[in-house]
């Protein structure tokens, strides 16, 4: 009964949209679709990447994404996943410096302070100083932010309450970035402020970090060296420098590439997104779309922002206190939240795509994407970073077929012809 009612409601909504957009233009955007089902977009276009580099990114991923058998092994199951080895290494050697968070909290002043500083244009932009300050001002960590372009520099002023904020900014200021080496060192860093993690510094410089770890197989170390050689040849990092102690030094040319490579699933999601977009099978497609519905019209962070704007006191200490009280309070109103790896819309029909990486395809993945897509009356597909021709998995494929879920393995994603065929079948009437 409930299913019948939902189907009728969905049909009526579709008809209303057709009337609104016109019979000859029956195509929804992802935003229109989310609004149609009663949701509200929190974020779109997350971490989209320079498409000119995607071919190189995909080439590297596919080269290191297939399972490999450990040399000298006597058992068939003794394998390792090169991509997992690579991302684990990058996560270890490119850790964010979160100590600045504690420094800021420990430096609360008895009175409001005023900051004034100047920055080189290139340092200010590449280290995303302005972006961090604007976000801090938006959530009342600082107030009265002013950023003025003074020909050869950016002049900045604002009010703040924690002395360490000025100390952190000082290493990026014009007075401390005069020599070529000072500029180079400053540009390796990125000042970050996020609602979840607060203050931290990211660095795209890897400086004398061990290329291998204790107990690691020689084959795994060689994979990391081969990966670094490949991305150097593609112009994504500086030339790796190895010292006599087995340490390596290099720098990524941009922070976004580093973050893509250090997250096992992020790179694959981008590859799938790019392949679907290039297929020209969809009117609109978005990656990492987060939306909410149910009890609240606005998300908790929007409420937090309003609470902070109304308060006389401000600063990072106040921000943390109010965030903990509101965001993590057991009495805070619950809002249902969904994040879909990729949403693609073909005419009036959405396709939810879940992206998975791992040694083996799991049936639980199918139940997960089926549950979410069925709830929103969308078609379902699962992209898996495995080659099903080289690693057949009939149980997984049969289960997917029975559930009406399209499976996109790497053998399909790498072939535009096979991908278009698979996407066409995804929108065929269900049996």
Token pair of 161, please? 């309450």
Predicted confidence (pLDDT) per residue in 20-69, tens digit = 443 344 566 766 666 666 655 555 444 455 667 888 999 999 999 888 88
**Statement: residue 302 has pLDDT above 60:** yes
**For 175-179, 244-248, 341-345, 396-400, which range has the lowest pLDDT when averaged over its residues?**
341-345
Asked if residue 298 has pLDDT above 60, the reply is no
CATH fold match for the domains 2-47+267-301+333-426 and 99-203: no
Average pLDDT over all residues of the chain? 84
Domain boundaries, given as residue ranges, for the chain: 2-47+267-301+333-426, 99-203
pLDDT in tens, 197-238: 888 889 999 999 999 988 888 999 999 999 999 999 999 999
**Pair 201, 354: CB distance under 8 Å:** no
Least confident range of 8-12, 413-417, 419-423: 8-12
Query: Distance (Å, rounded) from C-alpha 313 to C-alpha 315?
Result: 7
Rounded to two decimals, the pTM is 0.80
- Pick from 275, 283, 265: nearest CA to 418: 275
Judged against a pLDDT cut of 80, whether residue 392 lies above it is answered with: yes
Distance between CA atoms of residues 149 and 158, nearest Å: 15
pLDDT score of 14: 47
CATH number of 2-47+267-301+333-426: 3.40.1350.10
Q: Within a 10 A sphere around the Cβ of 362, how many other Cβ atoms?
A: 14
384 vs 303, higher pLDDT: 384
Report the candidate in 96, 106, 283, 266 with the shortest Cα–Cα distance to residue 194. Answer: 96
pLDDT of residue 99: 87
| Confidence band for 325, pLDDT divided at 50, 70 and 90 | confident
Distance CA 412, CA 99 (A): 44
Structure tokens given for 50: 């320079």
Three-state SS at 313: coil
The CATH number that domain 99-203 falls under is 3.30.70
Which of 107 and 8 is assigned the larger pLDDT? 107
Indicate if the pLDDT at residue 350 is higher than 60.
Answer: yes
């Amino acid at each position: 009964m409930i299913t019948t009612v939902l189907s009728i409601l969905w049909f009526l909504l579709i008809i209303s949209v057709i009337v609104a957009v016109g019979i000859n233009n029956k195509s929804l955007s992802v935003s229109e679709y989310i609004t149609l089902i009663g949701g509200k977009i929190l974020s779109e276009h997350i971490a989209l990447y320079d498409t000119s580099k995607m071919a190189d990114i995909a080439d590297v991923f596919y080269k290191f994404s297939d399972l490999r058998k450990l040399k000298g092994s006597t058992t068939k199951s003794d394998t390792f996943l090169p991509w997992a080895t690579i991302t684990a290494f990058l996560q270890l050697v490119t850790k964010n410096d979160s100590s600045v968070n504690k420094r800021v909290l420990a430096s609360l002043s008895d009175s409001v302070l005023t900051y004034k500083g100047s920055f080189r244009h290139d340092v200010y932009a590449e280290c995303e100083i302005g972006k961090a300050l604007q976000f801090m001002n938006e959530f009342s960590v600082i107030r009265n932010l002013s950023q003025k372009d003074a020909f050869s520099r950016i002049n900045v002023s604002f009010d703040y309450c924690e002395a360490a904020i000025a100390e952190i900014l000082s290493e990026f200021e014009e007075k401390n970035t005069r020599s070529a080496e000072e500029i180079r060192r400053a540009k390796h860093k990125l000042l970050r402020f996020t609602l979840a993690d607060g203050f931290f510094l990211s660095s795209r410089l890897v400086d004398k970090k061990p290329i291998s770890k204790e107990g690691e197989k020689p084959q795994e170390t060689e994979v990391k060296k081969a990966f670094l050689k490949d991305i150097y040849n593609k112009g994504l990092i500086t030339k790796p420098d190895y010292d006599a102690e087995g340490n390596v030094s290099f720098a990524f040319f941009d922070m976004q590439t580093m973050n893509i490579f250090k997250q096992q699933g992020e790179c694959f999601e981008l590859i799938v997104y790019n392949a679907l977009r290039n297929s020209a099978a969809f009117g609109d497609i978005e990656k990492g779309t987060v939306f909410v519905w149910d009890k609240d019209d606005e998300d908790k962070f929007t409420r937090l922002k309003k609470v902070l704007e109304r308060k006389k006191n401000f600063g990072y200490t106040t921000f943390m206190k109010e965030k903990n009280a509101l965001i993590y309070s057991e009495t805070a109103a619950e809002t249902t939240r969904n994040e879909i790896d990729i949403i693609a819309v073909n005419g009036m029909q959405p396709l939810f795509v879940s992206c998975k990486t791992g040694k083996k395809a799991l049936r639980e993945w199918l139940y997960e994407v089926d549950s979410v897509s069925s709830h929103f009356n969308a078609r379902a597909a699962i992209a898996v970073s495995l080659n099903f021709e080289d690693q057949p998995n009939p149980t997984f494929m049969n289960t997917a077929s029975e559930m009406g879920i399209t499976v996109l393995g790497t053998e399909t994603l790498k072939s535009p012809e096979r991908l278009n065929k698979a996407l066409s079948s995804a929108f065929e009437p269900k049996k």
